[in-house]
Amino acid sequence: MKNILFPTDFSQNADNALNFAIEFAKRSRGNLILFHAYSVQLIDPNMPAEIYLSAYQEEEKSAKENLEDLRNKIERSNKDDKGNSLFEVEAIVSQGLVVDEALSIISEFHIDIVIMGTHGATGLTELILGSNTASLIEKSPVPVLAIPQNAENKTLENIVYAYDDIKANMPSFQRLLKFAEVFDSEITLLHIIESGNDTQEKNKKEFEKIKTTVGTEKMKLALVTEENVLEGINDYINNNPVDILAMAIKKRTLLDRIFNRSLTKKMAYHTKIPLLALHKV
């Protein structure tokens, strides 16, 4: 994973997520692409064209200056002991909707992962993640790492991969393995066995096959029996050292299930640790 896209709105949430993006770029010796999309709303259809053009030019100028300042700030500390750059930094400003423009950049620059900040923790998906983050998770063809504003551990050494059917999700799991290589992380495969189902032996056998195929010792299995899958995930995260939660996402089905209004209080972990969304392919 070498090409990293970092969308920013220059907010405090984005600033915190930038620390994770920089750490990822350092470890992967990759290319960090800073990205900001801007737009000018035409409030009054009778507004003279020259006034709209002036507002557009001012917004463009401000966006370019802010992003260039951010790039220069990163470059000043982007040095090894010999003064060489640890990773490449680019800055892209575009006019349009954030998600649409980000998807274009993902395709054009062969992006491997998107890292971006999230908003606070209330209510629906759009309020938990921020509408742009939630929408990009849904539409992005590459993994999206969503960073809560109060997340602190940038090393991401302990990854929990919550799965339902590991065989069906193998393409997503392979992407997770590439992510884990960057941080030399340990992966815990977490499966919640709903009450009344006895699938422990089946999951243990599947895990041993996967571990043998992958060929790594930095992997373990956690089986938790719980009536509610989401409560089981939440309880495990609250009672174990977890730096990041990874999940395979298929369209909006899982997002809707996780961030349903009635489940918000149960999913307290989303305010604490990053979420890595891996699309089922």
Per-residue pLDDT tens digits for 95-105 = 888 899 999 99
Q: What confidence score (pLDDT) does residue 28 get? A: 93
Of 118-122, 164-168, 245-249, 259-263, which has the strongest mean pLDDT? 245-249
Q: What confidence score (pLDDT) does residue 266 get? A: 37
Q: Which residues pair with 117 in a beta bridge?
A: 147
pLDDT over 90 (residue 106): yes
Torsion of CA 260, 7, 271, 252, to 10 degrees: 20
State how many domains the chain has: 1
DSSP, res 251: T
pLDDT over 50 (residue 128): no
Instruction: Give which of 219, 115, 114 is closest to 166, Cα–Cα.
Output: 219
DSSP, res 261: G
Domain extent, residue 96, equals: 3-279
pLDDT band at 250 (very low <50, low <70, confident <90, very high): low
Q: What confidence score (pLDDT) does residue 125 get? A: 39
Query: What value does the mean pLDDT take over residues 5-28?
Result: 91
Q: What confidence score (pLDDT) does residue 131 get? A: 66
Distance between CA atoms of residues 191 and 210, nearest Å: 14
Q: What confidence score (pLDDT) does residue 256 get? A: 53
Pairing of strands 144-147, 275-279: antiparallel
Question: Under a CB-based contact definition with an 8 Å cutoff, are residues 192 and 229 in contact?
Answer: yes
Distance between CA atoms of residues 258 and 31, nearest Å: 32
Condensed to tens digits (0 to 9), the pLDDT of residues 61-97 reads 888 999 999 999 999 989 888 888 899 999 999 988 8
CATH at residue 10: 3.40.50.12370
Question: Under a CB-based contact definition with an 8 Å cutoff, are residues 8 and 70 in contact?
Answer: yes
Determine which of 12-26, 124-138, 205-219 has the lowest per-residue pLDDT on average: 124-138
Determine which of 16-25, 122-131, 153-162, 230-239 has the lowest per-residue pLDDT on average: 122-131
Condensed to tens digits (0 to 9), the pLDDT of residues 132-171 reads 777 788 788 999 998 887 787 777 899 999 887 766 667 7
181's CB contacts (< 8 A; 6+ apart) are: none
203's CB contacts (< 8 A; 6+ apart) are: 166, 191, 193, 221, 223
C-alpha neighbours within 13 Å on the C-beta side of residue 18:
18
Question: Under a CB-based contact definition with an 8 Å cutoff, are residues 113 and 27 in contact?
Answer: no
- What pTM was estimated for this model as a whole? 0.83
